[in-house]
Structure 1
Amino acid sequence: MDLLFVADPIETFKTYKDSTFAMMREAARRGHRLHVCEPTDLVWVRGSRVVARNARTLILTGREQADWYEVVATQELALADVDAVLMRKDPPFDSEYVYATHLLQQAEREGARVFNRPQALRDHPEKLAILEFPQFIAPTLVAREAAAIRAFHAEQGDIILKPLDGMGGMGIFRVGPDGLNLGSIIETLNQGGATTVMVQRYLGEIVQGDKRILLIGGVPVPYCLARIPQGSEIRGNLAAGGKGVAQPLSDSDRAIAEALGPILAARGLLLVGLDVIGNCLTEINVTSPTCFQEITDQTGCDVAALFIDALEAALA
């Protein structure tokens, strides 16, 4: 099969932990052909089809350093002419990301198979998608009004505030019962009432880790990665210095995953990353879920193989 990965510049990949690289490596092992482009390469002209200009065809060298790939061809490639397009662009989920999904959806109309489906990506912003499943989430507020945030803090006492378009723990603040710096944090995040903010009750179970649970084809991977904050840090994100510890799913983890899995898969989300603290769902990640290699390295469960199995089944 011909697979086109729409991703960040491959020169920036940290191959020792990158999940897109793990997908590529497993796909190549099975004999699939690899092509890659960036969202800036997507072009549509009336009378033609959505193409990836300067799409690069890769072979993997078997090394995992700067020379992990070789480019064997550069060409203009119509998305409908490959077997599958894998949208693996990292957040931010900004206007340009949304525009890219519209181009990918046009490619679908022309016959392309895109994973995750573009409309599903737009319909599931990663922070806000949890609102559909209130039975699994902690007390949560979504607002831009400072008074509403202050009232939520007064009610909950200990809260986490975060921007809706962040990733890797960026822009997350904790405010305790003393309310120290609450006003300044609100001003920073809501930009004077212009920007919407998510506020949640602080979950003390974060000390045991912010668990990433992967759903592939609606089925949970049997192990999650608990990302455990280090030192005085409140964030477990690996990008913020958290320690990743793979562990079997708990009963509550599995209950959440099995409840959401079929629903999300039916919407065209082949790969989803659920974030869970304690027994509470905190995010539904659909843009470029990660942690493949950490789980595989620590448990022997080959997550990339499970993903390519699901992709092949979806294309059969």
Structure 2
Amino acid sequence: MVGPTAPGRPGGVLPGGGHRPSRRPAAVAGRVRRLLPVGGRLPGPAGDPTDAPGVGRRTAPGTVPMRLPTDRPRVPLTTDPGGVLHHTFPADLVAAVSAYAVSRNATPYAVFMAAYTWLLHGLSGAPTVNLATSVANRTDPRFDRVVGVLAQAALLIVPVAGVASFDELVERTTRVTWQALARQSVPSSVQIATLGEPFADFPCRVYFDLLDMADPVLRLTGLEPAVARDVVLAGARGDLTWQLRPLPTGEMALLIEYAANLFDADTVAGWLDRYQRLLSRLLAAPDAPLPRAGDAG
């Protein structure tokens, strides 16, 4: 994700100071309840005085799972067969997103996610949109040179009920991003469990990522440098995964991975078309009332 990091404070102490995740699930769950939008107070950026009802530090209760419309019934599968769609957002649209983000003290990630959230709200009708995103989970500098995968999926629960404009929605996605960063060391299974029984089987898994780093190059003595290559998986990680990556040309690459047993390629392509038109419309009038479901303009 693109944005400032806000280190969490998981339980336990590492040698020489610092923190590590607690081994006590009950203690972790109690801490996470204060960081997920199921009522109570939630942290925002340091110095942020906003305390509006229904968002940010105070959020409305009633968080429910989001359910997207599918082309075929959902049936239990060990691995969902995956489909892939590639797209590139033009440089002028990406520049407009970046300029608007700066004007709102937000990140491009929060802006792209806000439009995506409104699209999913229109498709599902859910009062809260639940997403997941990849986080580095390396909040301690001593982890920088540790070999191993510490990354995991952090939940992004965006309340959309009562939102009046795109400006307000971007404020919400910005604050939700801070919350996800603050709890990035908390296992995603604990975060899901904290949301309660409705999320027990997490019926709809939607991921939204923006990779803001260059592809790594593997350099070994005596061998030619090896650049990273895309690996097309036979299965889908979730129902729907959007992965954004900035390009040197100023454009933004988008890789969409979807569960082919649930969605047709034409359905996913149609959602992408609606998203791009919706994003352009919202950027043109961010303080105007949000369009109704299905009306991308």
TM-score by length of 2: 0.28
More strand by share: 1
TM-score normalised per structure 1 = 0.27
Structure having the larger proportion of residues in helix: 1
